[in-house]
Structure 1
Amino acid sequence: MALQTTLRYALNLISCAQVVAKKRKVEEVDVEDIRRAYTYFMDEKRSVQWLKEQQGVLMFDEMDGEGMGTDMAA
């Protein structure tokens, strides 16, 4: 996983997987805990890919001057 993402992401994923393992009331992290944590937290590449796939679906794309408009500070 670290080869596909970054070492920082992989290390953080292990920490998250430890929380998942504790939720199952076990002391040792296993592969399934890491897989579950992987589904909860996206790395940068997956986040960018998800945003590209959701382009046009997110509510920010629907603001065309109606309601809040594009200037959210106003």
Structure 2
Amino acid sequence: MDRPAFQSVAEIEIDAVTPSRRGFTLTGQGADRAEYRLDVHFELPLDPRTRKVIGELLTQSDVTIARRNS
């Protein structure tokens, strides 16, 4: 069975990662020069060390948002 095709909507270079109650808020600028915000939530509680490591990893990341072609 063929997988549905996805179209890239935005490629975002992450500039800042801010801890939130249940995860993180990532902000950055896209290739289109627009500003983007992405909220990431976790179902499980994070201990301080894990939260720090995940925050550091996310700071070094880029995000691609894609949507399914209709």
TM-score normalized by structure 1?
0.23
User: Is the strand fraction higher in 1 or 2?
Assistant: 2
The structure showing larger relative contact order (alpha-carbon pairs under 8 Å, at least 6 residues apart) is 2
Q: Which has the larger radius of gyration?
A: 1
Name the structure where helix makes up a greater proportion of residues. 1
TM-score normalised by the chain length of structure 2 = 0.24
